C-alpha cells in the first residue's frame, strides 16, 4: 500500500451484532450482511452483483439457493432492499438500508441514544 493510500473498510452497525446476539439473524446472515457492507459503494450504499459473483467473492461455502434465502431474510428484516424476478439471472442491485451507518445528520428518531463516548 502506498504511503498516501488509505485502507478500504466497511463499518458494520453495532445493532447488526445485537441482532445476531438476540438470535434475530443467523451467523450465515451475519456473514453475508458483513460482506455486503464491505462491498457496497460508501456513497450510494448500493452494490450490483450476480448470485454467482457473490458466492465466489465472499467465499460462500453453501449453495446459491442458501445465499438467495439469506438475502431474502436480510431483506425481510429490513437490513437490505432489492427487487428480484423469479429465475432472475441478471445482477441484483442491493441497497443497504438497516445496514447503513447512521450519522449525526440522519433523523434523530433513528439514532441510538444509549451510546456514550
Q: How do residues 67-113 score in pLDDT, each as one tens digit?
A: 999 999 999 999 999 988 888 889 999 999 999 877 544 554 544 44
This prediction has a pTM of: 0.79
pLDDT confidence of residue 87? 83
- Answer yes or no: are the C-beta atoms of 49 and 91 closer than 8 Å: yes
What is the CATH code for 14-101? 1.10.10.10
pLDDT of residue 36 exceeding 80, the answer is yes
Q: How does 16-33 read in b/e, with b if 16+ C-beta sit within 10 Å?
A: beebbeeeebeebbbbbb
pLDDT value of position 101 = 77
Kindly indicate the confidence band of residue 3, based on its pLDDT and cuts at 50, 70 and 90: low
The confidence score (pLDDT) of residue 113 equals 46
Amino acid at each position: 500500500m502506498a504511503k498516501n493510500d488509505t485502507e478500504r473498510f466497511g463499518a458494520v452497525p453495532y445493532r447488526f451484532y445485537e441482532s445476531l446476539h438476540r438470535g434475530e439473524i443467523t451467523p450465515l446472515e451475519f456473514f453475508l450482511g458483513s460482506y455486503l457492507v464491505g462491498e457496497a459503494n460508501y456513497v450510494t450504499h448500493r452494490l450490483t452483483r450476480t448470485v454467482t459473483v457473490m458466492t465466489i467473492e465472499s467465499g460462500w461455502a453453501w449453495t446459491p439457493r442458501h445465499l438467495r434465502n439469506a438475502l431474502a431474510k436480510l431483506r425481510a428484516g429490513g437490513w437490505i432492499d432489492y427487487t428480484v424476478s423469479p429465475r432472475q439471472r441478471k445482477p441484483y442491485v442491493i441497497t443497504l438500508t438497516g445496514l447503513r451507518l447512521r450519522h449525526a445528520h440522519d433523523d434523530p428518531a433513528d439514532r441510538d441514544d444509549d451510546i456514550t463516548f
